[in-house]
């Protein structure tokens, strides 16, 4: 169980996400936000740097993301129960082979369930639409319906794709710190139709979510 007044690190990819989250925190002293860069490598490196320079009790990867249309809605909030490196493996004639299947490590990290449920229950008291499900980390954003279908066929229940979660989670996991990933859905996964993106609403979702996190951890 995570007690109140613990030190929390929130890791975003870019400054716009960071600013949206800070807007909801109202200068909370025990929640710190960094923009670690785009992609799992930058996210892992800069998360490690942050948690080695200060003591943190929880690490949260947070930002906007793409939602799989049959699972979550644009404008909703998704909390990961699993964080999956969806493109870490080998392509074969028979299909994609995960790193796990090759015996070279794991592509899946499970979040702290008690912490996940605590945040979920708090968010459910608001007007936000909130889901729990697997969040995928990819180094390349999906841009076709075909790729989106392949991902959902391969990963049961896939809810969201983003680019940093597995990197952040790996850094926290290796240093024995509980972690979460939270995404505000800005667009459906698939063809890149900018008219379908809802960036303003997604950033507002981050702000509202961070206000609730402030209440959870204080």
pLDDT tens over the chain, length 218 residues = 455 569 999 999 999 999 999 999 987 889 999 999 999 999 999 999 999 999 999 999 999 999 999 899 999 999 999 999 998 878 887 888 787 777 787 899 999 999 999 999 999 999 999 999 999 999 999 999 999 999 999 999 999 999 999 999 999 999 999 999 999 999 999 988 887 789 999 999 999 999 999 999 98
Cα distance between residue 150 and residue 130, in whole Å = 25
Architecture of domain 8-216: 3-Layer(aba) Sandwich (3.40)
Cα distance between residue 72 and residue 76, in whole Å = 7
From its phi and psi, is residue 95 left (phi > 0), alpha (psi between -120 and 50) or beta?
left
E strand spans, 58-195: 58-67, 77-85, 89-92, 95-98, 108-110, 130-137, 160-162, 179-188
Tokens encoding 117: 């449920």
Q: Residue 141 in contact with residue 122, Cβ under 8 Å?
A: no
Cα distance between residue 207 and residue 202, in whole Å = 9
Q: 0.85 exceeded by the pTM?
A: yes
**Would you list the domain boundaries of the chain?**
8-216
Per DSSP, helices labelled H in 57-183 are 99-102, 113-123, 145-154, 165-174
């Amino acid at each position: 169980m995570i007690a109140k007044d613990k030190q929390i690190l929130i890791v975003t990819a870019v400054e716009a996400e960071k600013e949206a989250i800070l807007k909801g925190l109202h200068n909370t002293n025990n929640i710190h936000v960094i923009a670690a860069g785009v992609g799992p490598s930058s996210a892992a490196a800069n998360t490690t740097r942050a948690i080695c320079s200060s003591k943190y009790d929880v690490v949260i990867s947070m930002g906007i993301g793409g939602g799989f249309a049959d699972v979550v809605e644009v404008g909703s909030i998704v909390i990961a129960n699993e964080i999956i490196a969806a493109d870490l493996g080998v392509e074969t004639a028979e299909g994609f082979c995960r790193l796990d299947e090759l015996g070279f490590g794991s592509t899946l990290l499970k979040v702290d369930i008690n912490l996940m449920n605590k945040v979920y229950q708090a968010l459910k008291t608001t007007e936000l639409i909130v889901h729990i499900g697997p969040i995928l980390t990819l180094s390349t954003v999906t841009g076709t319906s075909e790729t989106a279908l392949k991902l959902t066929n391969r990963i049961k229940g896939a809810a969201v794709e983003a680019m940093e979660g597995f990197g952040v989670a790996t850094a926290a996991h290796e240093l024995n710190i509980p972690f979460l990933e939270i995404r505000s859905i800005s667009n459906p996964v698939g063809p890149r139709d900018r008219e379908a993106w809802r960036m303003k609403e997604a950033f507002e979702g981050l702000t509202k979510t961070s206000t609730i996190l402030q209440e959870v951890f204080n």
